[in-house]
Amino acid sequence: MKKALLALIATMLISGCSNSNTSASNAPASDTTTEQNQHHHQVTDQWVGRWIGVEGLFLEISKDDSAGPGHYLLHMRYGLDADQIGTFEGQATAEGIRFNRGDGPQLLRAGDGEATGMKWLLEKEDCLVVATGEGYCRD
């Protein structure tokens, strides 16, 4: 009888612990998350303006004030084909600015000319890179 009672008590304690963990994970996001998001857009806010690629490619970043802090509009010519131009909505992350365009989800991140993978930009130091072969720099 004692063993059955101890087993019942142990089961109740274990289930009580797992319930408290569940409710803790459902708690609202902390101020730390808000502070991290604020930090991300403080970095990417410095990217606002015009960036130059090769052969007429360009990237113009502006803040999307209607969407709130950390949101951007990326107007870009990212290829030589007529349909490789457009304006895309982006959002700051720890890695850079995430956005979607016709060729799928993309990440715009800080780099240098070498990171662009293009010999014409090799000597540049202040660049933004989408992928090897696609980068935009400032002088």
- pLDDT above 50 (res 86): yes
Two structure tokens written together for 113: 């000319």
When mean pLDDT is compared across 5-19, 40-54, 78-92, the lowest value belongs to 5-19
Return mean pLDDT, the chain: 81
Instruction: To the nearest 10°, report the CA torsion of 30, 74, 135, 127.
Output: -60
Supply the pLDDT for residue 139.
81
Residue type, 8: L
Instruction: Give the pTM.
Output: 0.72
Question: pLDDT exceeding 90 applies to what percent of the chain?
Answer: 68
pLDDT of residue 21: 38
Helices (H) and strands (E) in the chain, counts: 3, 8
* DSSP code for 45: G
Sign of CA dihedral 32, 34, 37, 41: negative
Kindly report the backbone phi and psi dihedral angles of residue 78, in degrees, each rounded to the nearest multiple of 5, phi listed first.
-110, 5
Q: What is the mean pLDDT of residues 34-53?
A: 80
Helical H segments across the chain, by residue range: 2-25, 31-44, 113-116
Q: Give per-residue pLDDT as tens, 89-129.
A: 999 999 999 999 999 999 999 999 999 999 999 999 999 99
Residue type, 94: A
Cα gap 56→33, rounded to integer Å = 39
